[in-house]
Structure 1
Amino acid sequence: MLRKKATYLSALGLSLSLALTGCMAGGDDDKETAGGAPKSGKKLEEKVVIYSPHGKDILQQFEQKFEAENKNVDVEWLDLGSQEVLDRIRSEKSNPQADVWWGAPSVMFNQAKGEDLLAEFKPSYADALDEEHHDSDWTWTGTSKTPEVIMYNTKELKKEDAPKDWDELLDPKWKDEIIIRYPLASGTMRTIFSAMIYRDYKDSQDPAKGYEWLKQLDANTKEYAANPEIMYNKVAKGEGKLSVWAMPDVVMLKETKNYPFDFIVPESGTPVLTEGIAIVKNAKHPEAAKAFYEFVNSQESNKTLAEEHYRIPTRNDIKDLPAWIAETKIEAMDIDWKVFEEKSNEWMEHWDNNIKNKKKETKE
């Protein structure tokens, strides 16, 4: 029979009916297959709905790959910032529309766990994850590690002239040369901003110095871009020379899309996020959700994500990874992620209400 053409969902269209009819998955054993989906013998529903910040390139590819191996399952996805995903899942708690949440910092998954938004699911690859890369109750597992870096336009700046550490971004010479993804919608940016506050907060228990740092950064920031693509394009065009962002994305844009980008790992250390995946509690398509969860975290998929999409796996059994992963030295900041979970919303609200664009108000 003809398979329904896969679509990615608009925010309005997502709330339309999510039919629950099934087809048989193959096999009896629970071992990981080459594609990653477990052969549990249980029925897979005809649809699985994914919320993810991973972008259309990854989402379209894994939609097609999963559907090729599960021909009666239609993958639908919504591409949102990770904070937007969390907010949407919260708002849909009484009537979940998503089945899988794929991609966000672990602190956000912990927040969701605390609000009873996630289902427990221990995947077949659990033994390949170190303790820091999964929730103790298996409401989420890590998929990749993401160091944060200073990104610069190589046509506008030589490497030796670009900032080498976070505090160098505050130099007045970078005024109106920095373009930043709007932090409140972005798990990456919320983590970077929270890390800048945490550097002093961990000893003083006072965010004041961190707020002052963000105020100085705001003075040098030309624009807060509404989404990553806008930020990429503006930096690529030279409308700003610098940004701060996730290292794997910078490498991907440079290598696959010929953006004039490179990165510097801050010398004093950088937050290294664990990106995760989870099944939404009371998901309408739970068996298809489990199959997709396993599929995108199989050894084969991890190799694809590392080689084609520049993701650093959390699984410790992935061999022959690209040289850029093996050879890049990362000095990870020592961070109490529980503090981030507890304080990030408060810190970001203060930034949004008291710091953002204050230089423009002063000029006016």
Structure 2
Amino acid sequence: MNSSFISSLARSIVGLLTVILLVSGCTSDDRKSLTVYSPHGKEMLRAYEDAFELAHPDVDVRWIDMGGQDAYDRIRTERKNSQASIWWGGDGPTFSRAAAEGLLEPYRPTWASEVGPLGRGEDDTWYATFLTPEVIMFNSRTVSADERPSSWDDLLDEKWRDRIIIRYPLASSTMRTIWGALIMRQPTEEEGYTWLARLDRNTKTYAADPTQLYLKVAREEGDITLWNMPDTYIQTEMHGYPFGFVIPSDGTPVLNDAIALVKGGPHLDIAQQFYEFVTTKEALIYQAKTYFRIPARKDLDPALLPDWISKAQIKTMDVDWEELTRKGAGWMTYWDENIKGRGQAWLTERSLD
């Protein structure tokens, strides 16, 4: 075999590979990109990326896993050049604030009549997909059954000094809901701040994100945190973390976990399809069984839902969601600037215990 033939064959192979790469590149580029901002975790997001792309081969679903508050902040920053089309997950008050600022595209889903009045935004700007109870999460290796706190106020006991780790609240709609509810359960805002200062006094550190929170509690850097029930279940059942939880006996906020279209987002027609795709009866039942979510829709057959939903003893805290929407951001700013990391000093300045 002469060298000229080998050279010619090599050029042909290179040319063929170039064509293949160009074709595959064009195929990928031809897909329409749909970006989703969501705190629902990589497990659920990856599953619905794959499922939607299988049903819609011309769509490339891209998701960014972030806290509900981070999603709001990012959508607000990008309002003149929206990058995301779907915001999937976060508390109702944060969605209502986004709607008031004109950040959401109204859309009435086919199942709109199946959620209650608290599970929707004004003018169809958002709808609830899940009901998410907040809980006290603990390391089941280090916190014995007779030691576990049973109420929010138990967390202020001196025995928990430097044993509490908390997800930094300003980036998390879950934590903002908890903080706001804990302020509103007191007779005055000042007494609410006092309660949070006493909690800060017992807090060892604030974790930057959920992953750091899980790792710190699992590594026994702390024993207790405040979090939500579905994610606690997921980390325990799917990842083997030694976590348990208590639903506070004095009542817990149950947030409306919402979904919405982003105003000005690309391919809103596809975004509507994704919105419907992840909120069908079948999808919600699957999410309940696999990702421990409590569906907000009222038209699902209870017999098809997991037993833990009906067995959960959840005493719902009476939360003024409108007040939380109006005042929540101000409460968080005050806490961050005056109480975080200096709870004891804040109490001492006011001659409080």
TM category (shorter chain) comes to: 0.7 to 0.9
Structure 1 residue corresponding to 2:91, chosen from 81, 105, 117: 105
Query: Matches of 1:316 and 1:48 in 2, distance apart?
Result: 29
Q: Number of paired residues?
A: 322
Is residue 309 of structure 2 the alignment partner of residue 325 of structure 1?
A: yes
Structure that is richer in helix per residue: 2
Residues 113-155 of structure 1 show CA distances to partners (whole Å, capped at 9, x for unaligned) of 1001111111111222222212241111101000001111110
Please, which of 290, 293, 298 is the counterpart of residue 275 of structure 2? 293
Change (3 A) 1:5 1:269: farther
1:134-181 Cα distance to aligned partner (Å, 9 max, x none):
224111110100000111111001222111000110011101100000
Q: Is residue 242 from structure 1 mapped to residue 224 from structure 2 by the alignment?
A: yes
User: Once the 2 structures are TM-superposed, how far is the Cα of residue 360 of structure 1 from its aligned partner?
Assistant: 8.8
* Counterpart contact for 2:92–2:257, Cα < 8 Å: yes
Identify the residue that residue 262 of structure 1 maps to in structure 2: 244
Distance apart, 1:243 and its partner CA: 0.4
Residue matched to 1:137: 123
Contact 2:197 2:344 in 1 (8 A): no
Query: Does the 8 A contact of 2:199 with 2:343 survive in 1?
Result: no
Aligned to 2:342: 358
Letter in 2 for 1:306: A
Q: Tell me the CA shift for residue 108 of structure 1.
A: 0.6
1:164 matched to 2:159? The reply is: no
1:227 corresponds to: 209
Residue 361 of structure 1 and its aligned partner are, at CA, apart by: 7.7
Please state whether the residue corresponding to 1:235 is helix, strand or coil: helix
What is aligned with 2:190? 208
Give 1:329's aligned amino acid. Q
Give the deviation of 1:304 after TM superposition: 1.6
2:70 alignment partner in structure 1: 84
Deviations 1:215-251 (A, max 9, x none): 1111110110000011011111111110010011111
When residues 4 and 100 of structure 1 are mapped into structure 2, their CA distance, relative to the original with a 3 A threshold, is: farther
Following superposition, which runs of at least 4 residues in structure 1 exceed 4 angstroms of deviation? 1-6, 359-362
Q: Which residue of 1 aligns with 2:323?
A: 339
Gaps of 5+ in 2: 1-22, 347-353
**Residues 235-280 of structure 1: CA distance to partner in whole angstroms, max 9, x if unpaired?**
1111111001001111122222111111111111000000000001
- Report the Cα distance in structure 2 between the residues aligned to 1:2 and 1:59, rounded to whole angstroms: 25
Q: Write the letter of the residue equivalent to 1:50.
A: V
TM-score normalised by structure 2 residue count: 0.88
Aligned partner of residue 330 in structure 2, secondary structure:
helix
- How far apart, CA to CA, are the structure 2 residues paired with 1:251 and 1:5? 39
Alignment-derived partner of residue 289 in structure 2: 307
Work out whether 1:56 is the aligned partner of 2:56.
no
Q: Could you say which structure has the larger radius of gyration?
A: 2
Q: Output the CA distance in 2 between the equivalents of 1:151 and 1:69.
A: 38
Question: Of the candidates 113, 137, 141, which is equivalent to residue 155 of structure 1?
Answer: 141
Contact 1:139 1:278 in 2 (8 A): yes
C-alpha spacing 1:97/1:179, structure 2 compared with 1 (3 Å): same
User: Does the Cα contact within 8 Å between 1:47 and 1:288 map onto a contact in 2?
Assistant: no
Letter in 2 for 1:96: S
SS at match of 2:238: helix
Cα distance in 2, alignment partners of residues 344 and 190 from structure 1:
7
Task: In structure 1, list runs of 5 or more residues that go unmatched.
Answer: 7-18, 22-44
Q: Any idea what SS the aligned residue of 2:274 has?
A: helix
Determine if contact 1:177/1:222 at 8 Å carries over to the other structure: yes
Counterpart of 2:168 in structure 1 is 182
2 CA distance for matches of 1:284 and 1:337? Answer: 31
